[in-house]
Structure 1
Amino acid sequence: MKLIFIDIDNTLLDFDKYTEESLKKGFKRFSLPEFEPYMLDVFHQENDKLWRKIEEGTLHIDGLKHVRFQRVFEALHIKPSFDPTLFEAYYRSQLFESAIPVDGAYKMLDYLSKKYILAVASNGPYEQQIHRLSLAKMDRYFTYFFISEKIGYSKPSPFFFLKAFGEINANRTDIILPKDACIIGDSLTSDMKGGFNAGMHTCFFNKKKVDTPPDRIDFAISDLSKISDVL
């Protein structure tokens, strides 16, 4: 193994924790009904549906901001007195400054960076993701940054990884092949499927301990600090 791709949201940085905090603040700021725990579940359900469309190539990431909170408010039976895109703008502004590390992330990066070339592999806005990694002081561990907005494709598209390997091997004499690489991530549909289809090894961060398809996953961990057990 020579190269490790690592996802950002809910692998390195805690997207779920950020979302809960920002929704609570946002509901107060916009004078919406009192935030309740079930509302977080509804957000994730609607958000996940939209990200599946992005992964499938049927929704562009720029389109997300126009429909996400419209869908969320409809599912919650909330009729805001403002354009939902205003809440989206607030949510994104909060996310831009969010860098809550997942437990064990720094220990994992310290370990992996001493053994392998590390590359970010993330679906999301380029400037936002780079800024958040910088805030968390995680950017220093990585040689390459592959983010869907800039690369032009979203995981699990094979073109995402084709472009990534093309850039990595552009000035190398010792070509790195997919069989020499592994992807670490929390998503079965983008990280594991994308890595499997690209011919790479896959390491599933199974924080939520869900059932996993054995044919697509080479390794699984539920604690990032235990990465040395498998890599």
Structure 2
Amino acid sequence: MYKYLLFDLDDTILDFKTNELVSLRKLFKNHKIDNINEVIKYYLEVNHDLWNQYELGQLKIEEVVSKRFEIVLRKFDYAVDGYVFDQEYRQYLSQGGQLMDHAFEVIETLSKHYDLYVVTNGVSETQRNRLNLCKLTPYFKAIFTSKDIGYPKPHKEFFDYVSQNIDGFNPKEALVIGDSLNNDIKGANDYGIDSCWMANNRINDSAIKSTYTINGLVELLDLLAH
């Protein structure tokens, strides 16, 4: 039986994709950037690539967030201060309280029976602000972010830190729930923790396999009841 539930945030509990698009549109509109749809499409490609480099240990998180807007907007002949743009962008992100379907009621219910923790590769301040906005913070015993730890998921050092900072932690009594096969599921599997992939109606055609698969958080209630 599980005692500890370790939740990823983005696109597991918080609807990051919706929040991201809303925030980018606000940012680019505020700076009178033309062809916003085209710029956003390119941003998503660049941002994905930079985060992959971060998760592989090739970039620091500070480099990701300061470079991405400079790289993207340079292509469209805009010269901007990437750090300043990112600060404004993260302000918009912090104001986004969009949740995945049934997230609040599922977290509230599970908190009565399990110790809940957040394990996220996101920027600490932004993630904490978004959780506060959604009024979910009180349901979690602790929030572990890669920026605070110094290593992202799926690195062993991330999970070492988590295990060392949860009293009495036993990997065999824990379950990681997340939407990323590479970060959440592989990280959990490598550390000897059971994993639950939040598939969001995607097909897993990779070599990384989860202990369980769900397409929505409400399914987690049934899974844990058996």
- For 1:203, give the aligned amino acid: C
Partner of residue 186 from structure 1, selected from 179, 197, 212: 179
Shift of 1:208: 4.4
Counting aligned pairs with the same residue, the percent is 32
Shift of 1:58: 1.1
In 1, Cα distance between equivalents of 2:222 and 2:206: 20
State the Cα RMSD in Å. Answer: 1.8
**TM-score normalized with structure 1 length:** 0.89
Correspondence 1:103-118 to 2 at 5 A: 103-118=101-116
In 1, Cα distance between equivalents of 2:24 and 2:126: 18
Correspondence 1:163-202 to 2 at 5 A: 163-169=161-167, 175-202=168-195
| Counterpart in the other structure of 1:67 | 67
Unaligned runs of 5+ in 2: none
| Counterpart in the other structure of 2:152 | 154
In 2, Cα distance between equivalents of 1:82 and 1:54: 22
The range that moved more, 124-133 or 206-215, is 206-215
| Counterpart in the other structure of 2:54 | 54
In 2, Cα distance between equivalents of 1:210 and 1:6: 21
Correspondence 1:1-231 to 2 at 5 A: 1-36=2-37, 39-74=39-74, 77-169=75-167, 175-213=168-206, 216-231=209-224
Aligned residues: 223
SS of structure 2 residue aligned to 1:5: strand
Unaligned runs of 5+ in 1: 170-174
Shift of 1:160: 0.8
Shift of 1:121: 0.2
Residues 61, 124 of structure 1: 8 Å contact kept: no
Shift of 1:99: 1.9
| Counterpart in the other structure of 1:172 | none
